[in-house]
Amino acid sequence: MVIRTRFAPSPTGFLHIGGARTALFSWAYAKKHGGKFILRIEDTDVERSTPEAVQAILDGMHWLGLDYDEGPFYQMQRMETYKKVLQTMLDKGTAYHCYCSKEELDALRESQMQQGLKPRYDGRWRPETGKTLPQIPTGITPTVRFKNPQTGVVAWNDLVKGRIEIANAELDDLIIARADGTPTYNFCVVVDDFEMGITQVIRGDDHVNNTPRQINMLMALGATIPEYAHLSMILGDDGQKLSKRHGAVSVMQYHEDGYLKEAVLNYLARLGWSHGDAEIFNMQQFCEWFDLDHITPSAAQFNTEKLNWLNAHYIKEATLDALAEDISTRLQANIHKASGAPDLKAVLNLYRERANNLNQLANDVTYFYALPQASAADVEKHITPEIMPAMQKLHQQLAHIEWTAEAIHQAINAVVTEFGLKFPKLAMPLRVMLTGIAQSPSIDQVMALLGQNETLSRINAYLK
């Protein structure tokens, strides 16, 4: 059997971290089994769906490299299909018209809640042999409801949660088409999963409660029931639920915030899934290893610290070309392209090991291209009057040497020896003068890249 999975977001917002993980798992499952991954846009909520959101989802998936084999399919473009199926169900009696008004339904719900009952449709328009239906009111266009079985249980073996069983008595007859004729979510999903031949439905576990209804409809349509895998949710860094109001950000925000897609992908893969002790792996490896058996059924808390660690790893792993290309866009106004400016790749090669974020990396190397401003505290602490004679001497020496890290190192050493100092005593003020801060890679290497003229000029600014 050919494996077919799908990712079916509703375009009511950007692609967030939870959606991205669902997409990643569905994608990987298809890849692993040589199957097809399908993208389906569930845009039947005309009120809230927007073309911008569709684009945002497409952009997010593209950035992460989650390519789909079929689609994107848009449900709004499949209306004819839904209507046809709807009519068939009406004809077969597995669905029926309901003339309740919204107000009537609201009142029903409220009174049930008050009585401590589970709010549900009471079946007043459900046709039954020997039952007399109410008088059809005028001026009300009916909705269509699915005639759910009233006895027995629906059960399925959830691929991540195990067997789940729900009594049909808990389920009511849900609306599958609105009064305006448009089909609703649960119905569209069923028709699409059926017609698109989906074999494994991998989705968020907020859909667990929809599953029994969907299975019942699938059975009414005579369809094969796909397997289901419900993924637990991802909590924010603080353990709180992610929502638009709290912590949920677009995956594209991670790009803007300085994360490599490799890090985000690797991190997401490990959130809720594991392969023994494996922590670092690429997507090819992931697709080989991925399986549904090793998904945790419990919710996972997002941990930015660990993402940072992975990001640091992938920054070290990146090719210098790719890194330079990225950092180049994060550096302000092409400052690194001025003639005589230090080579960005060489600079990044010196700095990549100490970065866990691309924006931070860009910020760290900016002083190579723009004069830094040291803090008064650093100046006071390191550039002391006592060190100035030695610095003066070093400045003279540096003007006459071959500009290599080794020669620079020797020059500093010579001055240090001559003045009876420890190396850092001279290296620290140099750091502050040249980089603007008290932390940097080996100062001789920094100087070698900064260039002789620029180095002498920056030191000189403090000698006056």
Report the residue number, 179 or 252, with the smaller CB distance to RNA: 179
| Contact stretch for RNA (CB under 7 A) within 175-183, 250-258, 319-327, 452-460 | 175-183
4 contacts 35 by C-beta, under 8 angstroms: yes
Asked whether position 287 contacts RNA by CB under 7 A, the answer is no
- Gap between the Cα atoms of 65 and 265, Å rounded: 9
Report the residue number, 162 or 222, with the smaller CB distance to RNA: 162
Residue 242 DSSP label: P
Asked whether position 326 contacts RNA by CB under 7 A, the answer is no
Asked whether position 455 contacts RNA by CB under 7 A, the answer is no
- Gap between the Cα atoms of 459 and 454, Å rounded: 9
- Write out the two tokens for 30: 């298809």
Residue in this structure with the two tokens 């927007």, named with its chain if needed: 50
Report the residue number, 255 or 352, with the smaller CB distance to RNA: 352
Strands 143-146 and 175-177, sheet pairing = antiparallel
- Gap between the Cα atoms of 83 and 182, Å rounded: 8
Query: Among 297, 381, 404, 457, which residue sits at the site for RNA (rule: CB under 7 A)?
Result: 297
Closest CA to 336 of 373, 364, 360, 365: 365
Q: Phi and psi dihedrals of 17, rounded to 5?
A: -60, -35
Under rule CB under 7 A, which residues in 134-153 are in contact with RNA? 143
Report the residue number, 118 or 464, with the smaller CB distance to RNA: 118
Under rule CB under 7 A, which residues in 302-321 are in contact with RNA? 303, 305-306, 308-309, 312, 316
Instruction: Compute how many residues bind RNA; rule: CB under 7 A.
Output: 84
- Write out the two tokens for 58: 């497409």
- Gap between the Cα atoms of 425 and 382, Å rounded: 8
Query: Among 192, 262, 378, 444, which residue sits at the site for RNA (rule: CB under 7 A)?
Result: 444
Q: Specify burial of residue 25 (Cβ count, 10 A radius: 0-12, 13-18, 19+).
A: buried
Q: How far is the CB of 297 from RNA (least distance, A)?
A: 4
- Write out the two tokens for 246: 């709290």
What mask, x for binding RNA by CB under 7 A, covers residues 33 to 62? ---------xxxx--x--------------
Under rule CB under 7 A, which residues in 221-250 are in contact with RNA? 232-233, 235, 239, 241
Asked whether position 288 contacts RNA by CB under 7 A, the answer is no
| Contact stretch for RNA (CB under 7 A) within 89-97, 160-168, 326-334, 393-401 | 160-168
